[in-house]
Structure 1
Amino acid sequence: MEALAKTKEERLSILSKVFSPSSPITTSDFFFGRIEQLSNICDAINERGQHAILFGERGVGKTSLANKMTESFTNLFPVIVTCNRKDTFNNIWLQALGKVQHSTTTKGIGFKPSEIEHFINLGTYLNPKSENFQSDIIKILNNYKQYTFLFIFDEFDNIINDKTREDFADLIKSFSDNITNSTIVLVGIADDIESLIGNHQSLERCLKQVKMPRMSKKECEEIIDNGLAALDIKISIKVKEKIIEFASGFPHYVHLMCKYGAHEIIKNNKFEFSQVYLNIAIKKGIENTNEQLKSSYRKAIVGTQKWQDIIFACAQSPIDNYNCINKMDIIKNYNIIAGSNVSGGTISYNLKQFCSTDRGNVLTKIGSGINTRYRFTNPMMRAFVKLKLNSN
């Protein structure tokens, strides 16, 4: 017996769950890809004395993966704490243990008293002014060896206090030596782990490094195919590949275009994601992009058409393993876009200016001389520029 078709209201209700560009995916039903990274975290949890650090560029889905961890690993108690700039080491761990509750029962007073159940969080056992705060954490968790805990500290890059980072490094080493029922996972924006936790070589043996790369084409396809299938929407291979190309490996932009395209499709009671709806999605996606990105872009292109053509050329150029762009590729693409035949010296001034505040700091220069490369300062700018290029 065929299932009944979903109503417009049902499809719109599902839409906000399957495509979520503004906030991380919170349910595993609509989280796709990242199997390798999830497996690496699982290995750390299952290995005694091992912890993990998940790092990568902004917008590659680290927080969504952190949420996925809380549902994927069974027989443990997961805790997520989102760090901010004002947090101290003690404050963060008070938050973490404060999210772990256990119940105790006491007998009431009187003839045939009934038992009364109380809920207590482990944070109540911590004294924030204790001189042995780290030892106190270990002691508390060792009192609950019958449980397995997973402590995830998201947006760890927000912590700018060196002492707080050093305390975390020391605690991870102590956990590795003294606790068997708890795993710490640090999550943050960084090119390498030193940027997050500092240069602590002694952590190498107990801290598994898990880099979160940009999404592969296959992973982007999973988001598109599964999300649209839940909305009874079909999409051609050509349109799907355009979405993947524009997104540049960032799940945020896959979700952004699919959400606005699908919303228009459902609103018109249609069931096919055609080029017409992709054009609408591009326009809506640009309108709903982070204001900081839009502001930097406006500063970059103010003036003659040449500024815009060069930034378009940068977005169209291939990137290396470090997400950097070769100057010769920029020149080649600029000549195609502008219909010209210029050499490197003609645009060197423009590229230098793109690295300045006056031009929005859209690029960062890497290296010098023949080894000069350029990288988008905000990696998500590349995807935004591609949308602008295809919106004209």
Structure 2
Amino acid sequence: MRGQANPAPDKLPQFSRAASRDPGSARQASRLNRLREAFTPSHPIAQAQRFAGRRGLLEQLIHLIEDQQLHVVLYGDRGIGKTSLLRIVSNLARDAEYHVSYASCGSDTSFDSLFRQFAREIPLLFHKDYAPTHPEVEAGGTLATLIGDKPLTVADVTAVLEKVQGTRILLIIDEFDRVASARMREQIAEVIKNLSDRGSSIQFLIAGVASNLTALVAHIPSIRRNLIGVPVAPLDRRETAQVIEAGSRQSGLPFAPEAVSDITDLSRGLPYLAQLLGLHASFHAARRGGEAVNREDVVAAAAQAEEEIGLRLSDRILRAIDSAAERSGWPALRSIAERGMIGHGRLLANDVAGLDPTSKDALLEAESDAEGESWHFREEAAIPFVWLRASRAGQR
């Protein structure tokens, strides 16, 4: 109609940094920023004050490294908290005056590139052939000055590292499962054996996604007495509650006891999932103006987490999950996902017995190792996705 003003278009969503310029929105923006810092599912925890649970495992790792002077391999499923553990151990070791070098592997990481990185980070001061007043030491030289341009061999690395003295050195290798080269795994094992035989002050702490020790490190028999595997199990209920309580303290937003219980049930001891649900539940409560997180916030968080995790899955797997639910039912899928969550992703014959052959072939891959035949989901994110969807389906 002539003379009638056009309706104002809806205001676009804003980043909270922009919204905080409005004095009326500043308090809410500040509250949301605290929530983002309190729950961090997308990256590991490195600050001791934010780390919760795992106290017994931390004590075990410190004992193995410090008292028994063993090399340690941490293994477990993705999202179980291995990298957070490594970060905390790194900080605690540095506080105890260990020299710590940290490397994260990729598919293209080689033996040569890994140990060149470590050599660049270890001061030449700790090499027994160099006095503190040596010009290269005073200039801040590192062990990298002792290695040439040719690709490093096990003998080269051993020759340099065995002469380190005057300090304890902890070499941390994260995401070791991403190393594609079987030969590199053998070389790491050989270096560990050589340094152990020579009584070196250097220790390794290695972590990766695996269901057992032998899946990560080769030549186990030759270094059995020098190396120990430590599985990272799911959090227990008390530890999961501690994770939520730690986030609640930092954010200043309390959780109702039943909300903590619901997140504990849904996360099944997976720190990543507990953090994700805690984050989404907190945001839902804050945006509705709630003074505490309640059960309805957790229900909304579970739906949002399911949708978010589903974005990481291929269309093929999503269709396979829906087809499997039609054939075998959500309860069967829920049971399989639960076994995968508490079994480092490894499923045994009894675990998948309720799945029809077509669905089994579409969703799972078989593998054989020293422990026998087992199965795992073709895509890792399928485990928490199936668990959340099946759990929500059971509530409807």
- The bucket for the TM-score relative to the shorter chain is 0.7 to 0.9
The verdict on how the C-alpha distance between 1:205 and 1:259 changes in structure 2, with shifts beyond 3 A counting, is: same
* Equivalent of residue 99 in structure 2, options 67, 73, 77: 77
* Equivalent of residue 354 in structure 1, options 355, 359, 380: 359
* Amino acid across the alignment from 1:83: C
The verdict on how the C-alpha distance between 1:328 and 1:202 changes in structure 2, with shifts beyond 3 A counting, is: closer
The verdict on how the C-alpha distance between 1:303 and 1:381 changes in structure 2, with shifts beyond 3 A counting, is: closer
Tell me what 1:95 maps to. 117
Q: Determine if contact 1:60/1:250 at 8 Å carries over to the other structure.
A: yes
Q: How far did residue 325 of structure 1 move?
A: 7.2
Give the % identical residues: 20
Q: Please, which moves more after superposition, 291-300 or 97-106?
A: 97-106
Q: Determine if contact 1:354/1:363 at 8 Å carries over to the other structure.
A: no
1:254 matched to 2:274: yes
Q: Determine if contact 1:355/1:364 at 8 Å carries over to the other structure.
A: no
The verdict on how the C-alpha distance between 1:97 and 1:15 changes in structure 2, with shifts beyond 3 A counting, is: farther
* Equivalent of residue 184 in structure 1, options 189, 194, 204: 204
Distance 1:311 1:147 in 2: 56
Q: How far did residue 121 of structure 1 move?
A: 3.4
The secondary structure found in structure 1 opposite 2:140 is strand
* Equivalent of residue 126 in structure 1, options 133, 142, 147: 147
The verdict on how the C-alpha distance between 1:128 and 1:42 changes in structure 2, with shifts beyond 3 A counting, is: farther
Q: Which runs of 5+ in 2 are unaligned?
A: 1-25, 126-131
1:381 matched to 2:382: yes
Distance 2:374 2:68 in 1: 42
Q: Which runs of 5+ in 1 are unaligned?
A: 1-5, 108-115, 332-349, 367-371
* Equivalent of residue 45 in structure 1, options 40, 62, 65: 65
* Amino acid across the alignment from 2:111: F
The verdict on how the C-alpha distance between 1:353 and 1:199 changes in structure 2, with shifts beyond 3 A counting, is: farther
Tell me what 1:313 maps to. 332
Tell me what 1:238 maps to. 258
Q: Determine if contact 1:58/1:189 at 8 Å carries over to the other structure.
A: yes
* Amino acid across the alignment from 1:351: D
Q: Please, which moves more after superposition, 24-33 or 65-74?
A: 24-33
The verdict on how the C-alpha distance between 1:187 and 1:287 changes in structure 2, with shifts beyond 3 A counting, is: same
Distance 1:48 1:81 in 2: 23
Q: Determine if contact 1:315/1:382 at 8 Å carries over to the other structure.
A: no
Of Structure 1 and Structure 2, the greater strand share is in 1
* Amino acid across the alignment from 1:36: G
Q: How far did residue 51 of structure 1 move?
A: 0.8
Superposition map of 1:207-246 within 5 A: 207-246=227-266
Tell me what 2:14 maps to. none
Tell me what 2:221 maps to. 201
Please give the per-residue CA displacement for 1:296-354, whole angstroms capped at 9, x wherever unaligned.
652224459624x62443214664985647869986xxxxxxxxxxxxxxxxxx62122
Q: Determine if contact 1:228/1:234 at 8 Å carries over to the other structure.
A: yes
* Amino acid across the alignment from 2:268: S
Distance 1:224 1:81 in 2: 29
The verdict on how the C-alpha distance between 1:326 and 1:37 changes in structure 2, with shifts beyond 3 A counting, is: same
Q: Determine if contact 2:277/2:305 at 8 Å carries over to the other structure.
A: yes
Q: Determine if contact 1:250/1:380 at 8 Å carries over to the other structure.
A: no
1:151 matched to 2:151: no
**So what's the TM-score if we normalise by structure 1?**
0.78
Q: Determine if contact 1:248/1:383 at 8 Å carries over to the other structure.
A: no
Q: Please, which moves more after superposition, 262-271 or 157-166?
A: 262-271
Distance 1:135 1:362 in 2: 42
Q: How far did residue 101 of structure 1 move?
A: 4.7
* Amino acid across the alignment from 2:329: I
**So what's the TM-score if we normalise by structure 2?**
0.77
Distance 1:83 1:134 in 2: 18
Q: Determine if contact 2:37/2:251 at 8 Å carries over to the other structure.
A: no
* Amino acid across the alignment from 1:197: V
The verdict on how the C-alpha distance between 1:180 and 1:241 changes in structure 2, with shifts beyond 3 A counting, is: same
Q: How far did residue 286 of structure 1 move?
A: 1.9
Distance 2:196 2:235 in 1: 32
Distance 2:311 2:164 in 1: 47
Q: How far did residue 189 of structure 1 move?
A: 1.0
Distance 1:152 1:328 in 2: 34
- When the two chains are superposed, the root-mean-square deviation of aligned CA atoms in Å is 3.5
Q: How far did residue 156 of structure 1 move?
A: 0.6
Q: Determine if contact 1:77/1:149 at 8 Å carries over to the other structure.
A: yes
Q: Determine if contact 2:365/2:375 at 8 Å carries over to the other structure.
A: yes
Q: How far did residue 211 of structure 1 move?
A: 0.8
The verdict on how the C-alpha distance between 1:287 and 1:77 changes in structure 2, with shifts beyond 3 A counting, is: same
Q: How far did residue 221 of structure 1 move?
A: 0.8
Distance 1:45 1:189 in 2: 21
